[in-house]
Structure 1
């Protein structure tokens, strides 16, 4: 059996954002249909100035694929000292019928794509139908990916953005306006940006609350992306009080996600978590029920998203005769 090797440039040509949104929806539905085996992910924090590396493993019974992704971040000296990016990802795909390794692919782009798509899926089921303004707290690569994905599922008329690095904010404005023609308003403060939001997206590596409860207007949908390990935080816990709270994986979110903070402060209990998003997509629980409620999607990222997305890329590569094949077992 041959193993296929896919480089980053090849991966980027093998899937569209529309397809990624489809694969993420598939992942969420599969997770809540008992079609997924997904152990808790493992993280290793390395000594400063190095960062962390995470390992996510998942088995999808429907496609008979086991995926394993290693993703690292926060290695600022990598480009100068080692000639590699400060953050990287690699995905291995195994045929679950034999456990043979069928594909090795760059995973850094996939992480960004499927995380962006997750936000878009939540917008489809939780945002107000008349939502038009998006606020982005944080203007890095994932903030751009969120706009690319949300743009696929709704008409964005205006973006309000804030970042604590003015030069990063200026680049974001130029890039988004050039790519989409959507006007970007550079906010003078977080409060000013948040108050404008129909949809609020947070994509930082925050270590404390960046968004206060009284800034959030009724009817806002919040896409909380940045908190995926203990110690990170973007939202004031009080925002969760009386909000409709939706997790990607409740087990992960109550331990490592934004949801941990209001639980820890006794603002909510687990019973106050409305649903996992797959339950809403499957019609097992309702999404938004009125235009006044605040909805929160807490996304920690799941192995099954990597599985369905990388499997689609692999199938597209086989169909398009793309990549380099090699033999492990000769």
Structure 2
């Protein structure tokens, strides 16, 4: 039995953001076409100063691949004590016909890529067609990924950014302007940044509302990325009262996403959630219907996104003869 091994550099060379946007669209459509078996993901919180690790498992009937991704984060002592990153990822791919392990690949890039692509897919169907200005609350790696992906589907004329640390904000400005040539305005406050947004991206690890409802102008599309476990929060729950709410997975978002907060406060009911994004992509539900509505895409991340993206990387590796082969079983 032959298994392919792909390291981080090889994974990065085998796929581009435009391809990832395609694999994420495929994932969302598959999820809403009864093509996916995706159990709830599980996680383990380890004692401080260690962090957490979670496991996402998914099966896609169309490609006959089972994927399992392990992702860790928050291990703050790793770089100095052990010489490894504070967060790591690994993906295993199994041939669903036999359950043979066909690929082991580094997963540290894939989560960032497919999460960035998720924001871009939501922009395609939920942002105003004349949207030009993006606001980013948070300026870490995922904020960069969102800009990288969204720039593939629209022309960004201006970025307003806020971060709690001025030095981090200045580094984001320098990096984005160097890579994309898009002017970045360093906001003095969250309010100043949010009020400028045609598209608002939130990518923090916030534990309370960072964006107030009164700051968001009509017609804004919000890409809510940071809240993927209970305890995290970025948006004022009042924002949901009159918004068009779209989830990646309703069941995940009402349990551990941004949507949980207005639900538990009785600001909205589950029936007020407009759609899962796959339903919009399949034409089962409408996307944006006018230039005045506020749209919210709550993305908690799904195993099927890892499945379609990692399978594309695996297929590209086979096609270009990249990676190392090893055998668990001889003969």
TM-score of the aligned structures, taking structure 1 as reference length:
1.00
Q: What are the residue-to-residue correspondences of 1:243-322 with 2, within 5 Å?
A: 243-322=243-322
How far off is 1:51 after superposition? 1.1
Matched residue, 1:207: 207
Matched residue, 1:76: 76
Deviations 1:223-267 (A, max 9, x none): 000000010000010000110000000000000000000000000
Q: Distance in 1 between matches of 2:196 and 2:43?
A: 36
Q: What are the residue-to-residue correspondences of 1:180-199 with 2, within 5 Å?
A: 180-199=180-199
The Cα RMSD (Å) is: 0.4
Unaligned ranges ≥5, structure 2: none
Q: Distance in 1 between matches of 2:240 and 2:19?
A: 32
Q: Distance in 1 between matches of 2:329 and 2:258?
A: 44
How far off is 1:48 after superposition? 1.1
Unaligned ranges ≥5, structure 1: none
Q: Distance in 1 between matches of 2:297 and 2:50?
A: 30
Deviations 1:124-164 (A, max 9, x none): 00000000000000000000000000000000000000000
Q: Distance in 2 between matches of 1:27 and 1:73?
A: 24
Q: Distance in 2 between matches of 1:305 and 1:182?
A: 29
Q: Distance in 1 between matches of 2:222 and 2:41?
A: 24
Q: Distance in 2 between matches of 1:249 and 1:8?
A: 28
- SS of 1:155's partner is coil
How far off is 1:82 after superposition? 1.1
Matched residue, 2:116: 116
Matched residue, 1:49: 49
- SS of 1:43's partner is strand
How far off is 1:200 after superposition? 0.1
Q: Distance in 2 between matches of 1:196 and 1:49?
A: 38
Q: What are the residue-to-residue correspondences of 1:54-73 with 2, within 5 Å?
A: 54-73=54-73
How far off is 1:83 after superposition? 1.0
Q: Distance in 1 between matches of 2:228 and 2:131?
A: 27
Matched residue, 1:141: 141
Matched residue, 1:107: 107
Q: Distance in 1 between matches of 2:115 and 2:296?
A: 16
Q: Distance in 1 between matches of 2:182 and 2:303?
A: 33
Q: Distance in 2 between matches of 1:43 and 1:218?
A: 38
Matched residue, 1:219: 219
Question: When the two structures are aligned, how many residues end up with a matched partner?
Answer: 330
Matched residue, 1:33: 33
Q: Distance in 2 between matches of 1:18 and 1:275?
A: 25
- SS of 2:70's partner is strand
- SS of 2:151's partner is helix
Task: Show structure 1 runs of 4+ deviating over 6 A.
Answer: none
